[in-house]
Amino acid sequence: MGSDRDAAVARVPLMRTTFASILLVASAVLARAADVAGNAENGRLLLRQYGCGGCHRIPGVEAARGNVGPSLEGIARRVYLAGRLPNTPENMVRWIVEPKAIHPGTAMPDLSVSEAQARDMVAHLYRLR
Amino acid sequence: MRLRSLAAIVVAGGAAAVASIVGLGLYDISATDQHLAPTYWLLDTSMRRSVALRAKRIDVPPLDDATKIARGGRHFDAYCVACHGAPGIAPEPFALGLTPTPANLAHTAREWKPADLFWTIRHGIKMTGMPAWKYRLSDDEIWSIVAFLRVLPTLTPDRYRREIGGRPPAATVVARTQRATTGDAARGKRAIHQYACATCHAIPGIVGANAPVGPPLEGIATRAFIAGVVPNTPATMIAWLREPQAFRPDGAMPNLGMSEADAADIAAYLATLR
């Protein structure tokens, strides 16, 4: 639902038509950790299982002290993901599931994380304020 | 008795400190140097509290109106971008020289309440570059800017350029620092203030650098990749700092017109952040 909506939004010229779709995204941005659907505890385990800590420092995840990519400390407050994507729970799910679709040149690998798993990971990551 | 003489010494010491700052001009007021950490904290906290106190009774009108947001976008592009920049667009060179550096508003919009934003735009902030718009814009127009600011963090740099900022990105003026290109970390630490780095990144050792727009630079010296695309070496760091949009044309990090000398100095400072 999220990616369809975002894709639709991307085609709507902002100045010419309505802002209704933008507002949906806006409200998503303002979403707080509590609004993120997903099991944070399971997400924490998944972040370890998928080896995310090999590249990222992730508070709450054992041995996650990698410094290949940026630290995820305070990631819930970060404004952009992957250097360009507005940080919303939906966009974070998309980025984890299909990083190369968002940024073809990225060093972040496609780890075949399912959308449901990504949702749980995001629930944990959105606790890191 | 002992307590009393101690108090007298403290008072006398305080008076001497104030006299030397006010009378002798010892405090460095130049915009090339950031405030000392305690001064920064004092000014920043007082400013936030002052705004919050004065904005408390403001009634916020509905801000989700499409026309209002569109109008606010046009005002934002006309009045705010020169100093604050926009996603992927750097502030104008003169604005990079301001202290305090104008904030990245995609971050501010996520953290500040609408009433606080409204009050700040309307009244401005003394001893910063922030002007009062009260006599230049109607309250309706100011609210439209607030309405747009709430949407700003949802726009990718690409969308901002296509749909709000109709003009091409400002021609970058390469800073006029002519020096040998051997990086010097101490010079880099000062130069960081002149390129608004702290408005987007948390940077250890830099006063006031705690914004989470881009990733934190703690440990950047040993990070394997820059921007997720290039291996981190002294040379690639300098190239990235000078022209990030050559690596990431769609990225939020703007070209800041950084000279090679300043890039080498800043890279040398970043190399100390292990």
Q: Using CB atoms and an 8 Å cut-off, which of residues 51-70 of chain B contact chain A?
A: 64-66, 69-70
Does residue B247 form part of some domain? yes
The answer to whether residue B8 scores a pLDDT higher than 80 is yes
Which domain does B189 fall in, by range?
185-270
Mean pLDDT of chain B: 92
Instruction: Name residue B54's beta-bridge partners.
Output: none
- CA-wise closest residue to B108 among B210, B249, B248: B210
Residue A86 in 3-state DSSP? strand
AA letter at B189: K
Whichever domain contains B214, its CATH number is 2.60.40.420
> Residues B94, B201: one domain?
no
- Higher-confidence residue of A26 and B90: namely B90
Q: Given this model, what pLDDT does residue A17 score?
A: 44
Residue B175 pLDDT: 66
Q: Kindly state whether residues B139 and B216 are assigned to the same domain.
A: no
CATH at residue A15: 2.60.40.420
Q: Is residue B76 in a domain? A: yes
B155 chain-A contacts, CB cut-off 8 A: 86
**Which residue in the set B104, B219, B251 is minimally distant from A83, CB to CB?**
B251
Domain housing A41: 2-125
Stretch B124-151: mean pLDDT: 97
Q: What is the pLDDT of residue B146?
A: 98
pLDDT reported for residue A65:
95
Question: Does one domain contain both B49 and B150?
Answer: yes
Option in A13, A26, A78 nearest B154 (CB): A26
Mark whether B132 and B220 lie in a shared domain: no
Q: Are residues B112 and B146 in the same domain?
A: yes
Q: Is residue B128 domain-shared with residue B234, that is, in the same domain?
A: no
B72 & B148 share domain: yes
Interface A-B: count of C-beta contacts within 8 A: 116
Query: Mean pLDDT, chain A, as a whole number?
Result: 82
Q: Which of B163, B195, B214 is the last residue of a domain?
A: B163
CATH number of the domain to which B153 belongs = 1.10.760.10
Helix (H, G, I), strand (E, B) or coil at B200: coil
Question: Is B68 a member of any domain?
Answer: yes
- Number of structural domains found in chain A: 1
Whether residues B155 and B236 share a domain: the answer is: no
Q: Which residue has the higher pLDDT, A19 or B201?
A: B201
What is the number of domains present in chain B? 2
The CA–CA distances, whole Å, from B206 to A56, A93, B108, B218 equal 23, 33, 19, 11
What ipTM does the predicted assembly reach? 0.85
Instruction: Specify whether B126 is located in the same domain as B43.
Output: yes
Chain A closest-CA separation from residue B269 CA (Å): 18
3-state secondary structure string, A16-35? CCCCHHHHHHHHHHCCCHHH
Residue B170 lies in a domain: no
Q: Provide the residue type at B222 as one letter.
A: T
Q: Is the pLDDT of residue A30 over 90?
A: no
Q: Are residues B97 and B191 in the same domain?
A: no
Burial class (CB in 10 A: 0-12, 13-18, 19+), B124: middle
Kindly determine whether residue B158 and residue A84, on different chains, have CB atoms separated by under 8 Å. yes
**Is there a single domain that holds both residue B150 and residue B235?**
no
| Candidate from A9-23, A92-106, B194-208 with smallest mean pLDDT | A9-23
A-chain CB neighbours of B65 within 8 Å are 19
Please tell me the pTM assigned to this model.
0.84
A106/B228 touch (CB, cutoff 8 Å), yes or no: yes
Instruction: Please report residues of B whose CB lies closer than 8 A to that of A78.
Output: 212-215
| Low-confidence winner among A12-16, A105-109, B116-120, B135-139 (lowest mean pLDDT) | A12-16
Instruction: Indicate whether B27 belongs to any domain.
Output: no
Q: In terms of domains, do B118 and B192 share one?
A: no
What integer pLDDT is reported at residue B174 of this predicted model? 66
